[in-house]
Structure 1
Amino acid sequence: MEQEVKSASNPNQEMKQILSEFMVGVVKLEQLEEVGKRLLVSFQRALEFLRRPVINETSKLVQSILKENETRRVKSYVEAGCTNAYDSTLAVSQVNTSLSGLHEHLTKAKSVLGELEFVMSKAEICLQEGTRDLMDISMLGFDENLEQESTYDAAKCGSFMAVIYSMVKQNYIMQERVVSDLGLMTSSGELDSYCLMWSLRPFVSDDVINEAINYIK
């Protein structure tokens, strides 16, 4: 009986350990997001390089500069659209590499979300068992204040996990939509918006995440 009471009187301690495990996964997602952001910016730069406009030869200033530097090298460069084969090949490779990396990022992020779901299932079981045990010791006449305190702390941890999981899941769905829309025809305006949204993480509250981290310290 003494062992059962000891276990039941501290469900919050077990829930804090589970929350700590959960937050490790959240940090993993944040690290992946940083990698994904760099890949998205890399994709944007390479694509913008490929479709940058040629020199406007109707400009008097441009005409003057070209005339003053009328060498075979300059003429060939202008005729090629102000780029060279090596740079174009490198940019195309960067576009493909970045896009492949973003798809890999989604795969890894989805795996981490699966890990978070597993941790949440552990938390659910812990809450159910803790509530049942606390009801048992309450019926035996143990301190009700202890019961209320333990229930509150455990529930607080569970609440953190539910809220944070919802946020990071929505953020992942946003990233999934962004990556699925990327291609050679994606406009510059769309790319700017995608990069901004990826950085802002509109569905994620850093305050809530920091509060959860501080709660388990």
Structure 2
Amino acid sequence: MDEIVRSNCTDRMRSYLESGCSLHYQNISNLRHLHSCERELEDYINEANAVLKKLQRLVEDAYDATLTANLSAVKVPDYSTADSKMNHEYHFTEEKQEQPADELDRDSSLVTVMILVHNMLKLDYTMQEKIVRSLSLKSSSAEIESYRLMWDLRPYVDGSVMDLAWKSCP
């Protein structure tokens, strides 16, 4: 093989061998593709951040609504009104309070699940953002493989909580 290369060695062949048997245009193409992938990852991170912020607002709204409903259910009426109406309305209010209490419990549970899902997704997003920010041409194959594994495993997302959240959806 060495004899064939020596006998046919031209300037073009010599520069090809000196470059490590790679073509300049392929390197440029690979760098462009890598840059495009980096931009797509950045776009993904930006979209995930926007969705996470929307979810944060929804969780806050649901929490506020549930807190208001719970506080309204706990309020005790004025004593003078309560004493006069207590004997008359006792049987009606006892039956009516069971239904709203069940609904309040269900709503509180749903808000708790929403908060858990939001917190899990926020941790997952933070991990993904750190991975994307740390990627560079200097990243080793082992480092990239560990990032890929972390990305695929999603260690901050609990499957059972996500199943519960999906079951809670109408």
In which range does the TM-score fall when normalised by the shorter chain? 0.7 to 0.9
Query: Which residue of structure 2 lines up, in the alignment, with residue 117 of structure 1?
Result: 56
Q: How does 1:75-114 map to 2 (within 5 A)?
A: 77-114=16-53
Q: How does 1:3-42 map to 2 (within 5 A)?
A: none
Cα deviation code 1:140-186 (max 9, x no counterpart):
62434223311221011111111111111001111111122111211
Q: How does 1:1-217 map to 2 (within 5 A)?
A: 64=1, 67=3, 77-135=16-74, 141-143=93-95, 144-217=97-170
TM-score by length of 2: 0.77
Report how many aligned residue pairs link the two structures: 153
Counterpart code for 1:206: G
TM-score by length of 1: 0.62
CA apart distance, 1:125: 2.0
Consecutive unaligned residues of structure 1, counting only runs of 5 or more, are 1-63
Quick one: percent identity of the two aligned structures?
24
- Structure 2 residue matching 1:112: 3-state secondary structure: helix
Moved over 6 A (4+): 137-140
- Larger Rg computed on CA atoms: 2
**Larger relative contact order (C-alpha < 8 A, sep ≥ 6)?**
1
RMSD: 2.6
Consecutive unaligned residues of structure 2, counting only runs of 5 or more, are 83-88
Distance 1:98 1:84 in 2: 21
